[in-house]
């Protein structure tokens, strides 16, 4: 009987927690989709897209090899797997946001909390493409870091949520932010500030 009562109590607590999470989520003002009138649609040639992903991959690898932020931690090394998960383009294709997910062995963690073999980190990074030669620069500014996820799917969802919904929600009258699918994002003071105050990495 005691076991059954404990089980019922656990179920009730789980239900209460779920309801609380739903209530807080529904009232979360930081979760805002881009208004339809500002939402951008950018068409890009598939061959160019693949070439850009390859270039960004090469740059991230170079950043890891040279310990450039945000890949300057010791667990980033030649064994780190790099995924250029998403590229978001400005309408003129000269500015990009790259969603980067990295995969490392959990043996690199100071403390292993489970039996998972790998863990994932993620960033969104600002990029600019030179209109003359098409070379991409990736900047070392990392405004948002996701670390120690054990699922690629979950870390991707968290990164998407932040970049496509929560950036706009974090705006204040003195500090305006836009989601990365907002046409206003590319001309924003935030993008300009990052480009002017961060170090860029290129590959030959």
Mean pLDDT taken over the chain: 86
pTM: 0.83
pLDDT of 88 higher than 50: yes
Q: What SS3 string covers 50-104?
A: HHHHHHHHHHHHHHHHCCCCCCCCCCCCCCCEEEEEEEEECCCCCEEEEEEEEEE
Burial class (CB in 10 A: 0-12, 13-18, 19+), 56: buried
pLDDT at position 28: 55
80: region left, alpha or beta (phi > 0 left; psi from -120 to 50 alpha) = beta
pLDDT at 90 over 50: yes
- Name the helix (H) or strand (E) containing 7: helix 2-26
pLDDT at 204 exceeding the cut of 50: yes
Contact between 97 and 88 (Cβ < 8 Å): yes
Whole-number pLDDT of residue 131: 80
pLDDT digits (tens, 9 = 90+) for 150-180: 999 999 999 999 999 988 877 677 778 899 9
């Amino acid at each position: 009987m005691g076991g059954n009562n404990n089980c019922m109590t656990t179920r009730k607590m789980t239900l209460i927690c779920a309801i609380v999470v739903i209530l807080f989520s529904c009232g979360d003002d930081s979760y805002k989709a881009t208004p339809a009138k500002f939402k951008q649609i950018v068409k890009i040639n598939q061959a160019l897209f693949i070439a850009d992903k390859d270039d960004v991959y090469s740059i991230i690898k170079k950043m890891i090899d040279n310990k450039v932020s945000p890949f300057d931690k010791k667990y980033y090394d030649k064994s780190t797997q790099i995924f250029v998960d998403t590229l978001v383009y400005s309408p003129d294709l000269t500015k990009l946001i790259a969603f980067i997910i990295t995969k490392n062995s959990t043996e690199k963690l100071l403390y292993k909390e489970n039996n998972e073999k790998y863990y994932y980190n993620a960033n969104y990074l600002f990029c600019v493409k030179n209109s003359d030669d098409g070379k991409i620069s990736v900047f070392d500014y990392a405004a948002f870091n996701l670390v120690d996820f054990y699922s690629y799917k979950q870390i991707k969802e968290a990164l998407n949520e932040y970049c496509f919904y929560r950036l706009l929600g974090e705006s204040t009258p003195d500090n305006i932010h836009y989601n990365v699918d907002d046409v206003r994002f590319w001309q924003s003071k935030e993008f300009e500030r990052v480009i002017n105050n961060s170090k860029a990495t290129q590959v030959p």
